[in-house]
Chain A
């Protein structure tokens, strides 16, 4: 298969401009609270650890996974798990799966491209579905998530493929994969007066690509106790 099926030069140009502007945008993101290596906060604690913000990354926009991650290369990605005759399709792996900084960069993109407005901080959902658990209607493999972002989805997910370079989408995929790792004590979901039992320490107190590492007792609509003891 050809590496690049696109022949529309204006689209290439637009994407090139997009890439350049993305680089500019991300370079302009202020450097705040530089912390070490994106270490996640320690585990289950009612008192929240200090915020963790992504380190500045000057190369973020120029990061390239060309040749391996383009949408064209993902045409074979199945959305359905049903394969007639038992003949399956191969899912392309994420090209950045070994890049430990990808999720941090993705977290920044998640804010910069207003993903956070619909899917909420830590992917809790609202206008769009939550990304904080394992429910992904269009598939939860990296290639599926990539395509959902690139192509959009019919119930309101915008198609970002014309705006975002592949590398930015793959970083978002890394972030989404990271925030979706909800603790999963059972196969299905039970809700009752005593379940769920936990909630995340809310995002105003902790900024991290691994929000499920910092949880507290479920508050039933009362104020989070995460800030107790840290009141100004």
Chain B
């Protein structure tokens, strides 16, 4: 440890210091005088335009997003709705006719890198974002959602060096929409607002610095007029945060850090820790070696949900840095933690650390599905969180207390979650002591499930979970901090878990706390899930199959061979022609897929932070791609007329 600190100090000086900001030091971009002029022009235009619009449409407010999310013509946020169910009541495509699903149109988004984004559909227009590569990185396209006609595209000013600090492919998980604006967060730390109708840039805000190793890969979410964005970089010793920008101006309203003093984590008087061990002042400083929280990760690169009734947002933080846990004794709060915050101020209401002193890169940024479940005769408002650590958590979303946590995949490194204390129990025989080769770490560093989001059907009351099934060999080693470079300190080699398969698509009952059915896949299931009122669940595989299955039984009803593997998020919507469409991007990549879409050697197992070992044969099945695929039934196969949006009842479940 002594060595580590000295090395740390030297390298910090060499690299110009690691002056991690203690305050908001980022400002909207300054473009000079013309920008002011442009602002005046825009304001004038808006003043003229608003009364004209008001005649045709009801006045728009931020609450419209909630209403739009319940109109099944649309898919206005990556998770479909604030409860993050990825459920659409549409039933034109159903178990009886999904076998007739045909390709309607396709579109190429450009770079053949990992396509993880969810397309959005708002009022007949589809918005989709490409990965950060090539001379038009993170290009945004607006397409007619019915015909596929291109309306406009927008490309941010490129800064391709950002690719060098992105840990796990140069992906984007999607855009956000509100009030006639499309919001883009670029890999190189810019937030951009675009006019949804024209693609015109409305504002640009620099929200971070790739020189510190931070990037953005997550899909922003708009809540009450604020664009919520979190950084990535838990593998580069960045200091994690979630930030809120005013959707009209791009100005930062608040920033909540994932570690550090309470004043910067935004833990105040109304914070209630669900368990005693998380009570105390400045635990985000004290649960680390001196100063280590400044380079300790706890980023917010995953999913955000929102409960309008409790007026709380929910999201999780990443692993602590470095991976080598011997360099950071302590609980490392608030890494691998689920936060509930006030969306107006960012103030934390509660926080629950799923993996204190994480040993295995078990981030907890995965999706949080907000449900009202009948548990032991009571209706409980819960968060269902499929943990990366392999446990399916059901958590009271008002208090943060764990109601249940059950393993849903092979787990060798934990021995359950103590429901009295809320603490997970690590298996100490597996502790990754410095230099020791520890075998059969299950789940592997990407966990039993990574970012790929689940879907919940209120009809079947089952959660559809795409996930991987991997174990790993792990060897910790000393690592020095050099700003803007990886801060990992582990040699990892992953491989297929028990049984030899590497992925699974399963239906889980969170009340009965058990797996109802399962489809084993050769490769990790790295795509998101979708489930519909037609009782069809959709997901894609890395070896190029896009599948529709019966949500009740798991029987595969239809599959389509794509041009490249699927790691995207399927969505569904009604076109202007009354036809139900299903869309997903094809293009393998992400952490498990760089071995097939980039210059990564499949014969060197420790590549891609050890993921190469587990997917080294992927490029014998697929290479990178960049196609948006949109499917529909032929007219003669549609049994029922489309449900008119005004007649569509709001979903009985999911919750808010």
The answer to whether A130 touches B607 (Cβ under 8 A) is: yes
Tell me the A120-148 residues at the B interface (CB within 8 Å): 120-130, 132-133, 135
Given contacts A113-B485, A222-B500, contact A125 B598 (CB under 8 A): yes
Q: How far is the CA of A137 from the CA of B520 in the complex (A)?
A: 39
The answer to whether A158 touches B485 (Cβ under 8 A) is: yes
Contact digits for A1-31, partner B, Cβ 8 Å, 1 yes 0 no: 0000000000000000110011011001010
The answer to whether B486 touches A25 (Cβ under 8 A) is: no
The 8 Å CB contact of A129, one of B10, B161, B485, B599, is: B599
Judge whether A81 is part of the interface by a CB distance below 8 angstroms: no
CB distance from B165 to the nearest CB of A (A): 7
CB distance from A146 to the nearest CB of B (A): 19
The answer to whether B485 touches A117 (Cβ under 8 A) is: yes
Judge whether B40 is part of the interface by a CB distance below 8 angstroms: no
Judge whether A111 is part of the interface by a CB distance below 8 angstroms: yes
CB distance from A17 to the nearest CB of B (A): 8
CB distance from B236 to the nearest CB of A (A): 8
Given contacts A114-B486, A120-B608, A124-B607, contact A203 B164 (CB under 8 A): no
Q: How far is the CA of A211 from the CA of B484 in the complex (A)?
A: 28
Contact-size category for B: 35 or more
Judge whether B473 is part of the interface by a CB distance below 8 angstroms: yes
In the complex, residue of chain A having the shortest beta-carbon distance to the beta carbon of B605 = A202
The 8 Å CB contact of A114, one of B485, B604, B606, is: B485
CB distance from A104 to the nearest CB of B (A): 17
The 8 Å CB contact of A25, one of B161, B480, B600, B620, is: B480
CB distance from B610 to the nearest CB of A (A): 8
CB distance from A166 to the nearest CB of B (A): 15
Given contacts A25-B480, A133-B601, contact A156 B620 (CB under 8 A): no
Judge whether A35 is part of the interface by a CB distance below 8 angstroms: no
Residues of B contacting A45 in the complex (Cβ-Cβ under 8 angstroms):
none
Binds A, one of B85-93, B287-295, B490-498: B490-498
Judge whether A93 is part of the interface by a CB distance below 8 angstroms: no
Judge whether B167 is part of the interface by a CB distance below 8 angstroms: yes
Given contacts A114-B486, A221-B496, contact A135 B605 (CB under 8 A): no
Q: Which of A113, A152, A154, A156 has the most CB of B within 10 A?
A: A156
Judge whether A98 is part of the interface by a CB distance below 8 angstroms: no
The 8 Å CB contact of B495, one of A25, A156, A222, is: A222
Residues of A contacting B488 in the complex (Cβ-Cβ under 8 angstroms):
117
The answer to whether A220 touches B616 (Cβ under 8 A) is: yes
Q: How far is the CA of A58 from the CA of B614 in the complex (A)?
A: 39
Residues of B contacting A71 in the complex (Cβ-Cβ under 8 angstroms):
none
Given contacts A158-B484, A191-B619, A221-B495, contact A199 B10 (CB under 8 A): no
The answer to whether A28 touches B601 (Cβ under 8 A) is: no
Judge whether A157 is part of the interface by a CB distance below 8 angstroms: yes
Q: Is the interface of A mostly helix, strand, loop or mixed?
A: loop
Given contacts A118-B164, A126-B594, A191-B620, contact A227 B439 (CB under 8 A): yes
The answer to whether A25 touches B7 (Cβ under 8 A) is: yes
Judge whether B475 is part of the interface by a CB distance below 8 angstroms: yes
Judge whether A204 is part of the interface by a CB distance below 8 angstroms: yes
Q: How far is the CA of A84 from the CA of B131 in the complex (A)?
A: 37
CB distance from B448 to the nearest CB of A (A): 17
CB distance from B587 to the nearest CB of A (A): 18
The answer to whether A129 touches B602 (Cβ under 8 A) is: no
The answer to whether A117 touches B487 (Cβ under 8 A) is: yes
The answer to whether B7 touches A126 (Cβ under 8 A) is: no
Q: How far is the CA of A25 from the CA of B8 in the complex (A)?
A: 9
Residues of A contacting B435 in the complex (Cβ-Cβ under 8 angstroms):
32
Supplied contacts A112-B480, A125-B599, 13 more A-B pairs, CB within 8 Å: A18-B14, A25-B7, A25-B11, A30-B478, A113-B482, A114-B486, A125-B607, A128-B164, A130-B599, A130-B604, A152-B161, A218-B603, A224-B495
Which 9 pairs of residues, A with B, have the shortest CB-CB distance? A156-B164, A117-B486, A124-B604, A124-B607, A126-B608, A114-B485, A130-B601, A125-B600, A129-B599
- What are 15 sample pairs from A and B whose C-beta atoms fall under 8 A apart? A22-B14, A117-B488, A120-B606, A120-B612, A124-B603, A127-B164, A129-B600, A195-B620, A200-B605, A203-B491, A203-B606, A204-B437, A204-B493, A221-B496, A223-B473
